[in-house]
């Protein structure tokens, strides 16, 4: 349970932190996704086509844990689904991709199918309207006290959901032109969607799993992912919003590029070294991360969570552009509540990071 009372709301804290003013504690975001279903006791599949329920769950989860950012999120496939890909909804687990909309034959001879793709209409297609509805409800309910984000899947990753991941990575080497077409139409979907997300009063939050150096080389990232990400981020900036960019897995070879793409905050996966991120790009972007979502948050004890949280704060609390204590990726649905509470309580016990003399004095 929450044993410590926060002295500031999340928005007060984030605003003061950005200005370098005193704060009661570091911002903390255990990235809650479908765990929100557990908070209100519903099945994950109940979220399908039900913006009101998604909103209710995220509001309840926020009120239970009091973290510093609500991210309206169920899965990565919402935009690909709106463009025609099949998404499978197990009764009580996170949805996953079924048949992609473009069914390429093994010889890749029907690539002209790609030309038939059209960007999704966020107000009509798939479950996008319900996600937008969820965002509006959340902002109305708690938007005064906590920043609200809407999950947007980046162009390269969305492309992989349109043709299948294996086909997309093959095409990066076999037919670059096809990949550019896919990324372009995904970007157009993204642009429409982020406009709608911003109109809903919410900040787009970018996830781009397939851009990871665990999958493609930094060279291919720069060729196929970066140009489209940059256009997307420029567009969001033009609308006056800051951008958090999460790329899963290994990313150290592309941090510079993620900064170049214009991201204001990099969300660092637990597979990457966040101390190194502080040294290399911490002077230019805020960092968030990277307690292990599965080993520590799902499987670990409360004590494990406390230790991991202290450890990451010791490493990164003094990152020049700021640091948000977070999980390295979205939390698994069944993450125990006490572990989520413990991450926040640890940060509360550590208190004001500006009052810290040195890393060794950080205890909780």
Q: How far is the CB of 228 from another protein (least distance, A)?
A: 17
Contacting positions for another protein (CB under 8 A): 88, 90, 93-94, 96-98, 165-166, 169-170, 172-174, 213-217, 220, 248-249, 293-295, 298-299, 332-334
Closer Cβ to another protein, 254 or 286, answer by number: 254
Q: How many residues belong to the chain?
A: 364
CA distance 267 to 324: 9
Closer Cβ to another protein, 158 or 213, answer by number: 213
Distances (CA, A) of 272 to 113, 157, 214, 267: 37, 19, 10, 10
Would you say 314 and 354 are in contact if contact means Cβ atoms under 8 Å apart? no
Would you say 71 and 57 are in contact if contact means Cβ atoms under 8 Å apart? no
The first and second tokens of residue 2, run together, are: 């929450």
Q: How far is the CB of 214 from another protein (least distance, A)?
A: 8
Closer Cβ to another protein, 16 or 169, answer by number: 169
Would you say 248 and 329 are in contact if contact means Cβ atoms under 8 Å apart? yes
Closer Cβ to another protein, 5 or 107, answer by number: 107
Q: How far is the CB of 249 from another protein (least distance, A)?
A: 7
Q: How far is the CB of 23 from another protein (least distance, A)?
A: 31
Closer Cβ to another protein, 250 or 321, answer by number: 250
Burial of 212 (0-12, 13-18, 19+ CB in 10 A): buried
Closer Cβ to another protein, 127 or 213, answer by number: 213
Q: How far is the CB of 166 from another protein (least distance, A)?
A: 5
Closer Cβ to another protein, 193 or 221, answer by number: 221
Residues 6+ apart with CB under 8 A from 351: 24, 25
CA distance 147 to 42: 24
Q: How far is the CB of 304 from another protein (least distance, A)?
A: 11
**What DSSP state is assigned to residue 330?**
P
Please spell the DSSP secondary structure of 141-193, one letter per residue. Answer: HHTTTS-EEEEEE-HHHHHHHHH-HHHHHHHHHH-HHHHHHHHHHHHHHHHHH
Q: How far is the CB of 202 from another protein (least distance, A)?
A: 25
The first and second tokens of residue 181, run together, are: 């077409």
């Amino acid at each position: 349970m929450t044993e410590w009372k926060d002295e500031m709301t999340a928005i007060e804290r984030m605003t003061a932190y950005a200005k370098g003013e005193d704060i009661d504690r570091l911002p903390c975001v255990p990235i809650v996704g479908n765990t929100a279903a557990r908070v209100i006791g519903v099945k994950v599949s109940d979220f399908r086509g039900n913006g009101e329920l998604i909103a209710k769950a995220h509001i309840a989860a926020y009120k239970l844990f009091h973290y510093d950012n609500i991210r309206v999120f169920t899965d990565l496939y919402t935009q690909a689904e709106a463009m025609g890909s099949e998404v499978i909804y197990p009764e009580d687990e996170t949805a996953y991709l079924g048949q992609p909309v473009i069914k390429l034959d093994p010889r890749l001879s029907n690539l002209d199918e790609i030309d038939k793709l059209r960007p999704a209409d966020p107000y009509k297609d798939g479950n996008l309207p319900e996600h937008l509805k969820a965002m509006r409800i959340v902002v109305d309910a708690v938007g005064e006290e906590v920043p609200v984000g809407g999950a947007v899947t980046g162009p390269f990753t969305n492309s992989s959901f349109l043709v299948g991941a294996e086909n997309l990575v093959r095409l990066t080497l076999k037919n670059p032109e096809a990949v550019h077409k896919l990324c372009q139409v995904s970007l157009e979907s993204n642009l429409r969607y982020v406009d709608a997300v911003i109109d809903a009063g919410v900040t787009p939050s970018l996830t781009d799993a397939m851009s990871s150096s665990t999958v493609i080389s930094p060279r291919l990232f720069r060729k196929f992912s970066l140009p489209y990400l940059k256009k997307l981020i420029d567009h969001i900036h033009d609308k006056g919003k800051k951008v958090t960019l999460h790329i899963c897995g290994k990313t150290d070879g592309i941090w510079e590029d993620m900064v170049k793409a214009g991201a204001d905050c990099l969300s660092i996966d637990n597979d990457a070294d966040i101390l190194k991120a502080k040294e290399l790009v911490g002077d230019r972007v805020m960092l968030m991360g990277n307690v292990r979502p599965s080993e520590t948050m799902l499987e670990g004890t409360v004590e494990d969570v406390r230790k991991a949280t202290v450890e990451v704060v010791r490493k990164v609390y003094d990152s020049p552009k700021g640091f948000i204590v977070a999980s390295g990726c979205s939390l698994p649905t069944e993450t125990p509540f006490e572990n989520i509470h413990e991450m926040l309580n640890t940060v509360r016990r550590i208190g004001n990071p500006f009052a810290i003399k040195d890393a060794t004095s950080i205890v909780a």
